[in-house]
Structures are given as structure tokens and as C-alpha cells.
């Protein structure tokens, strides 16, 4: 028979084993996830498309100076040497964002008006890892439909409110990226969220309207925003522990104004920079990558 002392000893041993408590130096990095809706790999890796524009060609590094500086030079870029895809079978926004958030293939939503049953997302993972402030900002209102309508654990700020200008008259619930960026920046300043997803959508809106000039302008503004976030916080406690991830929900069809079932619109890309991200530049991995990998990637970043 084991004596009381033996049981107590075993219990104390268990309590003090290295795996039973967090490492003393472990911190929860601040994750900033930025999605830019419907940005194809053409512009990200090869610059402007001269078949769509009479303006002078803009190289990819001039079009996205911050993504290249922080991703290609000081972080990780995916989508050129290692192709990355939205799983599909339809390559549209809500299924794409669901795939990112759930970290799984999406079998219950094939239209943007779907009201999917709530399934666990990366936000739940972070909540259970004691992330204290989790927020979702988006220009496009249906992003909110990814999450349970009664969800109270997270802060949501999605779509346009009546005091803001209308950018696309066909969708008055859509908020211009400029306003989403302002709201998100203000929230970071005052709340220092440990996880914030900022979803921008102007680029896709202009592409659908066959306005290449404004599509390019939207991309440049999005890149500028990425630079602003990094520069603003790089010398702060918040920024020292910050990882920034930038990606898109789908690409574009061969006819660039569209995206739906055409496999061309499944091609996506991703950039990572900051805490726990090595300087690897353009990664070359020997298997296909998918949007569904992003949830596991975030978990890897916060667990190491």
C-alpha cells in the first residue's frame, strides 16, 4: 500500500513537472490579421497588368513596398514559389473567410448570403488561451455572419454605419476601407487587442466594377496601412510582441472582374512578419498550401 506521504510526493512531483505550467518567458503574441479581398497573385508577385492599364507599369515591389520590405525581406512570403489556394469549390468571399477562420474545408456555404451554422474558429482557440481582447473589423458586413449572432466574447465592428459615406451604392451596408482602417486603428490605440482581424474589401469591389485604376489604388492604400501599423508600433511593447499576417480570401478569374468556379480564382497568397516569424523570404514547400492552414499557423506562432 502506498502511504499518504508517497501520494503527496507523487502529487507534488506532478504539479512541478515542466509540462504542467507555462514557460516563465512565454508570452501571448499580439496577432494582427489583415485580409484584402480578392487580390490576385498577378499584382502581388508580378506588378500591374499592362493588358488592363494604359498607365506605366508598376513593379510588384513598388506596388507593395511594405509587403515586400516586411514579408519578402524580413519575414515570409507564400504564393509564388509555394502556391497557396482557397479550397473551394466556389472561390468567393464568405466561404474563403470561413476557411481561414475555421481552419477547415467549408462544406456548408457556397454563396455569400449563406448563414452557416457556427463552428469553432481561431477566435475560440485564442479565447481559451487567455487572449483578453479579440476583435473583428471589416468593411464588408457579412463577415459578421461567420460568428454566432449572440457572440459576446469578441468585439465586432463590421460594415457601414449611417454616418459614413457610401462607396458602392448597390451595397449601402459596405463601409469604405478608409473608414474601416480608421476604426481599427483607433481601436488598437485605445484597447491594444491581442488579436485583431481587419478585413478590407475595396479592391474586390473595384475589380467587380472593372475599374483597374481604383483596384490598384486600393492595393496601394492597403499596403500603406500595413506599413503604418508596423511603423506605429515597432518601438512599443505592443509592437515588440506583434505578428502581422496578410492574406486574401480568393483570387480572380481569367476574366479579372470575376471570381467563382474558375480554378484561376483559387490562387491566393500570404505574408507574415514579426514575433516568432523567421526571415525566410519566399518559402518553397513541397506540398500545396491552403487557406485552411492559417488557423494552425497562428496556433504555432502563439505556442512557440
Partner 1 sequence: MKMKKKYMKEPEPKEKLIMFKGEEEFFPGADLLLRLKSSLALIESPNVIGYGLQGNEKQYLFILANPIRLIDGNSNLKYIKCDTGNYFELGKQYNTSIHSLREELNNELKDINLDAFDYAKFVDNPNYKPQSIIHNGF
Contact residues for 201 (Cβ-Cβ < 8 A; gap 6+): 37, 38, 93, 138, 139, 140, 174, 177
Interface region with partner 1, contact rule CB under 8 A, candidates 11-19, 26-34, 217-225, 259-267: 259-267
288 lines the binding site for partner 1 (CB under 8 A): yes
Return the residue of 51, 113, 190, 286 that touches partner 1, per CB under 8 A.
113
Of 264, 280, 241, 242, the closest CA to residue 38 belongs to 264
Beta strands in the chain (DSSP E): 30-36, 76-78, 84-85, 134-138, 155-158, 195-200, 242-247, 267-268, 270-274, 281-282, 289-290
Q: Strand 267-268 to strand 242-247: parallel, antiparallel, or no bridges (unpaired)?
A: unpaired
Shortest spacing between CB 38 and partner 1, in angstroms: 9
92 lines the binding site for partner 1 (CB under 8 A): yes
Shortest spacing between CB 13 and partner 1, in angstroms: 27
Looking at the Cβ atoms of 155 and 261, the one nearer to partner 1 is 261
Joined together, the cell numbers standing for residue 49 give: 497588368
Looking at the Cβ atoms of 242 and 294, the one nearer to partner 1 is 294
The Cα 204–Cα 228 span in angstroms is: 22
Looking at the Cβ atoms of 84 and 219, the one nearer to partner 1 is 84
110 lines the binding site for partner 1 (CB under 8 A): yes
Looking at the Cβ atoms of 47 and 83, the one nearer to partner 1 is 83
152 lines the binding site for partner 1 (CB under 8 A): no
Strand, helix or coil at 80? coil
Of 195, 179, 189, the closest CA to residue 139 belongs to 179
State the residues that interact with partner 1 by CB under 8 A: 76, 78, 85, 87-89, 92-93, 103-105, 107, 110-113, 170, 208-210, 253-255, 257-258, 260-262, 270, 272, 277-278, 280, 283, 285, 288-290, 292-297, 299-301, 304
Amino acid at each position: 500500500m502506498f502511504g499518504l506521504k508517497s501520494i503527496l510526493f507523487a502529487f507534488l512531483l506532478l504539479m512541478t513537472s515542466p509540462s504542467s505550467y507555462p514557460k516563465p518567458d512565454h508570452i501571448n503574441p499580439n496577432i494582427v490579421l489583415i485580409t484584402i479581398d480578392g487580390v490576385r497573385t498577378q499584382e502581388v508577385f508580378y506588378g500591374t497588368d499592362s493588358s488592363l492599364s494604359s498607365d506605366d507599369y508598376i513593379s510588384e515591389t513598388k506596388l507593395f513596398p511594405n509587403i515586400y520590405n516586411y514579408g519578402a525581406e524580413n519575414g515570409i512570403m507564400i504564393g509564388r514559389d509555394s502556391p497557396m489556394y482557397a479550397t473551394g469549390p466556389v472561390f468567393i468571399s464568405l466561404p474563403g473567410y470561413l476557411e481561414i477562420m475555421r481552419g477547415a474545408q467549408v462544406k456548408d456555404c457556397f454563396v455569400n448570403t449563406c448563414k452557416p451554422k457556427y463552428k469553432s474558429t481561431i477566435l475560440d482557440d485564442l479565447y481559451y488561451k487567455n487572449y483578453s481582447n479579440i476583435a473583428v473589423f471589416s468593411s464588408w458586413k457579412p463577415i459578421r455572419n461567420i460568428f454566432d449572432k449572440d457572440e459576446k466574447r469578441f468585439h465586432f465592428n463590421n460594415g457601414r454605419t449611417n454616418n459614413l459615406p457610401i462607396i458602392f451604392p448597390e451595397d449601402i451596408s459596405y463601409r469604405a476601407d478608409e473608414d474601416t482602417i480608421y476604426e481599427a486603428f483607433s481601436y488598437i490605440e485605445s484597447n491594444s487587442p491581442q488579436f485583431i482581424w481587419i478585413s478590407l474589401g475595396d479592391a474586390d469591389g473595384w475589380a467587380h466594377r472593372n475599374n483597374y485604376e481604383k483596384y490598384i489604388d486600393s492595393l496601394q492604400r492597403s499596403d500603406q496601412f500595413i506599413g503604418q501599423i508596423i511603423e506605429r508600433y515597432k518601438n512599443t511593447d505592443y509592437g515588440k510582441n506583434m505578428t502581422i499576417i496578410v492574406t486574401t480570401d480568393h483570387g480572380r478569374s481569367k476574366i479579372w472582374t470575376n471570381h467563382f468556379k474558375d480554378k484561376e480564382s483559387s490562387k491566393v497568397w500570404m505574408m507574415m512578419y514579426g514575433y516568432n516569424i523567421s526571415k525566410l523570404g519566399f518559402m518553397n514547400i513541397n506540398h500545396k498550401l491552403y487557406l485552411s492552414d492559417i488557423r494552425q499557423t497562428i496556433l504555432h506562432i502563439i505556442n512557440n
